[in-house]
Amino acid sequence: MVTAESLNEAVEKICGSGIRITGRRPVFGGDINRAYALDLSDGSVIFMKANLRQKIGIFEGEAESLDFIRQTGTIRSPEVLAIGTDGDLSFLLLEYISSGRPGKASSEELGAGLARMHQADTSAFVTGGKYGALHDHLLGSGMQDNTPMDSWPEFFAECRLRPQFERASSWFDNGTRRKIDTLLEHPDLYLPETVRPSLLHGDLWAGNYMVDDRGHPWLIDPAAYVGHAETDLALTELFGGFDRTFYDAYRNIEEIDPCYRDRRDLYNLYHLVKHLNLFGSGYLSPVLSILRKYSRE
């Protein structure tokens, strides 16, 4: 991956001296970053994400996450070409993927590829513990804590749930805070240790994969870390967009514990509290409902 102090420098380092940007076309679909297809003077196209200069941490985390996924060799993800700053902007340059239409074959490939990724060796992605990542990642407007730990229930409680609950504390009354404290103090009552730590996409809803013009699925916009495979599966069910073909293909390669259903909502509690912090009261009711479900007061 190239690092550069200007966009033009990055393009020349990637494509060769004299190559210039000849056009910039907006690409829609993201909420946090601006995105463009950059047409180059040699006829090629690269994909660019841009944000404020001080938000470069978003791109550092995404670049590391994409690299993790590509290292597994199990499922397609865009190659990271360059990262850098240009004036008051930060940018990430990626391989450009021409989009196509999803279908049964792409759903099967996505499910099978995710299962294989969940089976891949994770030793290169975290040190000093079984779970976490090499670095913390800036996810949206907040930091995602990837401190390595050897206990999955402890990691999920301390590095996922606790930071979001602390940010959201003003939404909760005393009774709800007691439920939260019980959950955070005894996560092992609700979550098992993993049979095998897995590399996770980390933000796997339907908007974070795409299908190319040949019908192959690609994972995009990851916030990758090592954890329990069930957390990826849970998020695929939170906002929909994944069909039965996807889950059948996954199960053909990787068994899903029958007790997963008992834990699914707890995994998704992290994302719902995060959305409560980002978007407000519309997410309060499902958060409270899940807390009641798992309360053991």
Active-site residues, by number, are: 203
Residues 6+ apart with CB under 8 A from 1: 63, 67, 80, 81, 82, 83
Angstrom distances, CA of residue 187 to CA of 30, 197, 209, 263, 295:
34, 17, 31, 11, 11
Distance, CA of 232 to CA of 43 (rounded, Å):
38
Distance, CA of 114 to CA of 251 (rounded, Å):
10
Residues 6+ apart with CB under 8 A from 185: none
What values do phi and psi take at 44, rounded to 5?
-85, 170
**Which residue blocks in the chain are alpha helix, DSSP H?**
7-15, 56-72, 104-119, 152-155, 162-167, 174-185, 229-238, 244-253, 260-279, 284-294
> Strand 89-95 and strand 45-52: pairing?
antiparallel
Distance, CA of 226 to CA of 247 (rounded, Å):
21
Distance, CA of 144 to CA of 58 (rounded, Å):
10
What is the CA 21 to chain-centroid distance, rounded? 30
